[in-house]
């Protein structure tokens, strides 16, 4: 059975990598957001490309620059479909071979020659619409039509009724991308191999659709495949079906001070949004993006004017409608500051569901980050961390867990990162052993739309002899 699975996994890997250049990528990792503090022009054309004076610096109420998730994602709390700056970041900053203009802060970290980079970019250069100046420097030029009419890629098309607004993304600032589309589609597909089970399995399979009939109002849906770690399972053998709605909400967004309100199905904002849902700080605190039971049905409000941020959500637990006998209610809140060189924040979440269900839960924690590369370009290091504690009450008793994650990334070259992470925690104080997991490896982003990650892991549990080594490999393809 293992050999067919491995062959199927290899085939899917080849197919996804081969199709990657068609994508419009970015990624849902807080590391990318924090690391962006080292330079402007990470997620848009350089402000001096056509204007030696640069761009107008708007007042705080109308400023879009920040280091929060909403800088790159349609969902302001992160993950999934990318907005204009997120698509540009994924095509310009992340890969070895960019399909957009590289930011000036990365020009000296090329893997390939400038000639090779230019040749690759030329394949995707559709040229600018119109003649003369095509990059708007301020809102007045947008109203005059500067930069309007970019066609973008096939995944973003149309224009909302009523035209542009001051807080919307503007055509021209993102090269040939449609910055403010009527309809946008996207996807994330992550194929993984874990040596512990010697299996290839679909870690993630998401399809996203967003419709923006008028500026500042969007309806978004993410249809997600259920995460697996035991190989491919036929849909007919899955008790709850192969897919579920990870997101299904309507939202008023791009409001003054980078604020938003959304209502529907979502994952409550809490802690670091990591690409590995098995991290202790994700799995133990009901932040697993592959589990429909962790999604909720509710209302969320938030704001992120550079650089403070805050979110508050009130919800019904379990958005899977009927699988939980007593879904109950919940509330989650985050607040903090994400500066160019550092960040610090706090998180709290309460879920009241009745002890006969998944139990009542209270969680609280802190997150932090440090970005040495902002202070010294010769040290391209970014460090992130989280410490959280949760208490759960069920019919079988009480359970208190403590989990921490510390992750470091070293930007070797454009498209080449070294990664290390240490997970520490106790699943249940007093009755479960202390666990530690050290992961070391790296990732390669050869072209826009494809990421290859390979991590070695060593897990140690107190009271057990020896350690459990393992290797985790991932193909991530997105558009």
- CA–chain centroid gap for 440, Å, is 21
Environment class of residue 230 by beta-carbon count within 10 Å: exposed (0-12), middle (13-18) or buried (19+)? exposed
Residue 98 has a pLDDT of 93
225-270: pLDDT as tens digits: 876 544 444 444 445 667 889 999 999 999 999 999 999 999 999 9
For 297-330, the pLDDT digits (tens) are 999 999 999 889 999 999 998 776 555 567 889 9
Per-residue pLDDT, 194: 86
Q: Which tokens is 79 given? A: 């993950």
Cβ 83 vs Cβ 76: under 8 Å: no
State in Å, rounded, how far the first CA of the chain is from the last one.
32
Q: Phi and psi at residue 436, in whole multiples of 5°? A: -135, 140
User: What pLDDT does 130 receive?
Assistant: 56
Say if residues 89 and 42 touch (Cβ distance below 8 Å).
yes
Answer whether residue 222 shows pLDDT above 80.
yes
Query: Which residue has tokens 């589609």?
Result: 185
Asked if residue 138 has pLDDT above 50, the reply is yes
User: What mean pLDDT, rounded, does the chain reach?
Assistant: 84
More confident residue, 299 or 53: 299
This model's pTM is above 0.85: yes
Distance between CA atoms of residues 193 and 199, nearest Å: 6
| Residues 68-113 pLDDT 10s | 889 899 999 988 899 999 999 999 999 999 998 888 778 888 999 9
Name the percent of the chain lying above pLDDT 70. Answer: 87
What is the pLDDT at residue 125?
72
pLDDT tens for each residue of 152-182: 778 999 999 987 889 999 999 998 899 999 9
Q: pLDDT-based confidence at 129, cuts 50/70/90?
A: low
Q: Which residues contact 347 (CB under 8 A, 6 or more apart)?
A: 269, 270, 271, 332, 333, 334, 363, 364, 365, 366, 367, 388
Checking if the pLDDT of 361 tops 50, the result is: yes
Per-residue pLDDT, 37? 79
Report pLDDT for 463.
Answer: 73
Mean pLDDT of 33-49: 82
Q: Cα(297)–Cα(244) distance, rounded to whole angstroms?
A: 13
pLDDT digits (tens, 9 = 90+) for 274-296: 877 788 998 889 888 777 888 99
Residue 14 preceded by cis peptide, ω within 30: no
pLDDT value of position 86 = 92
State yes or no: pLDDT of 345 exceeds 70. Answer: yes
CA 306/CA 57 separation, integer angstroms: 13
Q: Is a pLDDT exceeding 80 seen at residue 32? A: no
Beta-bridged to residue 442, according to DSSP, are 418, 454
Exposure string of 260-272, with b = 16+ CB inside 10 Å and e = fewer, is bebbbbbbbbbbb
pLDDT confidence band for 29 (50 / 70 / 90): low
The predicted pLDDT at position 372 comes to: 93
Rounded distance between C-alpha atoms, residue 24 and residue 91, angstroms: 7
Q: How confident is the model at residue 121 (pLDDT cuts 50, 70, 90)?
A: confident
- Residue 18 banded pLDDT, cuts 50, 70, 90: very low
Confidence of residue 353 (pLDDT cuts 50, 70, 90): confident
**Cα gap 66→338, rounded to integer Å:** 8
* More confident: 356 or 32: 32
From CA 398, how far away is CA 394, in angstroms rounded? 6
pLDDT tier at 358, thresholds 50, 70, 90? confident
Percent of the chain with pLDDT over 90: 52
Q: Which residues contact 9 (CB under 8 A, 6 or more apart)?
A: 191, 193, 200, 201
Tell me the C-alpha to C-alpha distance, in Å, between residue 470 and each of 101, 198, 236, 422, 448.
39, 10, 31, 14, 29
**pLDDT of residue 448 exceeding 60:** yes
Does residue 150 have a pLDDT over 70? yes
């Amino acid at each position: 059975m293992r050999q067919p699975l491995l062959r199927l996994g290899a085939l899917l890997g080849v197919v996804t990598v081969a199709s990657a250049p068609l994508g419009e990528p970015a990624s849902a990792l807080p590391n990318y957001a924090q690391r962006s503090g080292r330079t402007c022009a990470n997620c848009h054309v350089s402000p001096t490309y056509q204007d030696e004076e640069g761009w107008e610096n708007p007042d705080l109420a109308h400023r879009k620059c920040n280091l929060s998730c909403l800088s790159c994602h349609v969902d302001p709390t992160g993950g999934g479909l990318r907005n204009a700056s997120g698509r540009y970041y994924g095509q310009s900053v992340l890969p070895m071979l960019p399909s957009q203009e590289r930011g000036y802060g990365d020009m000296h970290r090329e893997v390939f020659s400038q000639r090779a980079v230019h040749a690759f970019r030329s394949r995707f250069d559709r040229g600018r619409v119109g003649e003369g100046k095509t990059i708007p420097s301020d809102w007045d030029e947008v109203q005059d039509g500067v930069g309007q009419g970019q066609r973008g890629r096939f995944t973003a098309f149309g224009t909302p009724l009523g035209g542009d607004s001051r807080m919307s993304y503007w055509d021209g600032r993102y090269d040939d991308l449609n910055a403010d589309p009527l309809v946008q589609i996207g996807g994330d597909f992550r194929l993984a191999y874990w040596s512990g089970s010697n299996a290839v399995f679909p870690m993630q399979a998401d399809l996203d659709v967003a419709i923006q009939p008028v500026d500042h109002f969007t309806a978004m849906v993410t249809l997600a495949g259920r995460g697996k770690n035991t190989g491919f399972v036929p849909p007919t053998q899955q008790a709850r079906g192969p897919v579920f709605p990870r997101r299904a909400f309507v939202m008023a967004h791009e409001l003054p001070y980078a604020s938003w309100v959304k209502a529907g199905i979502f994952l409550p904002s809490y802690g670091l949004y990591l690409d590995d849902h098995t991290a202790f700080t994700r799995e133990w605190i009901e932040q697993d993006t592959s589990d429909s039971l962790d999604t909720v049905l509710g209302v969320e409000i938030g704001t992120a004017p550079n650089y403070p941020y805050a979110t508050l959500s009130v919800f019904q637990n379990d958005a899977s409608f009927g699988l939980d006998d007593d879904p109950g209610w919940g509330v989650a809140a985050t607040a903090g500051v994400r500066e160019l060189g550092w960040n610090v924040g706090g998180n709290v979440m309460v879920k009241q569901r009745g002890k006969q269900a998944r139990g009542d839960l209270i969680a609280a924690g802190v997150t932090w980050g440090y970005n040495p590369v902002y202070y010294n370009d010769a040290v391209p290091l970014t460090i992130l961390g989280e410490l959280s504690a949760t208490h759960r009450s069920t019919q079988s008793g009480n359970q208190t867990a403590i989990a921490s994650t510390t992750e470091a990334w070293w930007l070797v070259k454009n498209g080449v990162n070294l990664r290390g992470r240490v997970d520490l925690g106790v699943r249940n104080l007093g009755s479960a052993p202390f666990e530690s997991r050290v992961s070391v490896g790296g990732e390669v982003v050869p072209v826009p739309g494809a990421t290859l990650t390979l991590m070695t892991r060593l897990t140690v549990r107190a009271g057990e002899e020896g350690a459990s080594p393992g290797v985790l490999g991932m193909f991530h393809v997105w558009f």
